[in-house]
Each structure stands twice: as structure tokens, then as C-alpha cells.
Amino acid sequence: MIFYQDCLGGELTLQTIGESPIAAKLPNYLEQSILHAVLAKDNLVIMATDMVEEVGLIKGNAISMMLNCNSEEEAHQFYNKLAQGGKAVHPLQETFWGAIFGDLTDRYGNNWLINYDNQ
């Protein structure tokens, strides 16, 4: 993410697993892994994580597209439509960071993060 910040500019925010409320639930060796990274500049937002599925990093799961929704209803609509014929990985639910969030893989194998900041 530092590389992308150097290329694109913007403000970079990083949160390690060790700094998060889920740290106690995960193995110690993951403590320095990035749980949540955000690079924001104007209307550009790139989000990333070191957390990949149990199968590890494979071509296709290294990139996810994120939809920041305008309402909880819109988040549910997008989630349900994109999940048709795909795989609902984590259903939409309230998170410790104060958002409604879920992720899925669509019928074409693309990963989607659906988010609504309800604050």
C-alpha cells in the first residue's frame, strides 16, 4: 500500500490484527499482518488486507472490489444481486468498526466487499 501511496498520493491508514478487537481470536503469528488498509485521495479509495481465505493467496483472491453504499437497504440489494449464482462468503452484518459489511464472490469469480457506514 505504501507503493500505491507513493504512486497515487493520498492518506494511508493501516490497522494490524494486533491492534484490532479480533486479535485474541487469532494466532500470534498474525499479529503484525494488516487487517485493514485504506488509501484515500479525493474520490479514490483503495482498501486492502493481508487476510486471505484459508486456501492462501491465489490468482483471483488478491483483489476485491468494494461498494460503499448509501444506505443499509442499498447494501442488501447489491449483496443479494451480486451473490446470485456466486458464493456468499460472509453475510452482511454489523461490525466492530461501526459499519454493515459483508463479502461475496460473484458468479464470475470476482470478490466483492459491500459496506455501509451507518454512523
Instruction: Indicate the residue type of 85.
Output: G
Specify the pLDDT at position 104: 92
Domain ranges of the chain: 1-51, 61-119
Q: What is the pLDDT of residues 45-57, one digit of tens each?
A: 888 888 766 666 6
Residue 61 CA to residue 111 CA, distance in Å, equals 7
| pLDDT greater at residue 63 or residue 9 | 9
pTM listed for this prediction: 0.61
Q: What is the pLDDT of residues 26-38, one digit of tens each?
A: 889 889 988 889 9
DSSP state of 77: H
3-state secondary structure of 105: strand
Residue 97 reports pLDDT greater than 80: yes
Specify the pLDDT at position 4: 81
Other C-beta atoms closer than 10 Å to the C-beta of 85 total: 8
Grade residue 116 by pLDDT with cuts at 50, 70 and 90: very high
Residue 68 near residue 43 (C-beta atoms within 8 A): no
CATH of 61-119, one of 3.10.20.70, 3.50.50.60, 3.30.720.110, 3.40.50.300: 3.30.720.110
Going from the C-alpha of 101 to that of each of 2, 57, 74, the distances in angstroms are: 25, 22, 12
